[in-house]
């Protein structure tokens, strides 16, 4: 398992964070997604054998948000 924190721009409210959380948690291999509007970030625990980090970025950006950094 791997944990990555994504810095996200474009979230305007908690509903935006919930949208990202729901989308990311649908990806295979994702165990937990914690998305914070206040911090502008998503912390995701996932299995890198099941889902690639770039796929998670694409999922976050699909509704119009922007990933600007990853740890």
Q: Which residue in this structure is represented by tokens 């990555």? A: 4
CA distance between the termini of the chain: 15
User: Please, which pLDDT band fits residue 12 given cuts at 50, 70 and 90?
Assistant: very high
pTM of the complete model = 0.93
Cβ neighbours around 63 below 10 Å, total: 11
- Mean local confidence (pLDDT), 2-11: 97
Is the domain 2-70 a CATH 3.40.190.10 member? Answer: no
User: Please, which pLDDT band fits residue 47 given cuts at 50, 70 and 90?
Assistant: very high
Q: Please, are residues 41 and 66 in contact by the beta-carbon 8 Å criterion?
A: no
Cα separation of 55 and 15, whole Å? 22
């Amino acid at each position: 398992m791997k944990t990555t924190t994504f810095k996200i721009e474009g979230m305007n409210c908690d509903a935006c964070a919930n949208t990202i959380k729901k989308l990311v948690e649908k990806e295979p291999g994702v165990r937990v997604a914690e998305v914070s509007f206040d911090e502008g970030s998503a912390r995701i625990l996932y299995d890198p054998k099941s889902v690639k980090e770039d796929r998670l970025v694409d999922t976050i950006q699909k509704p119009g948000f922007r990933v600007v950094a990853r740890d």
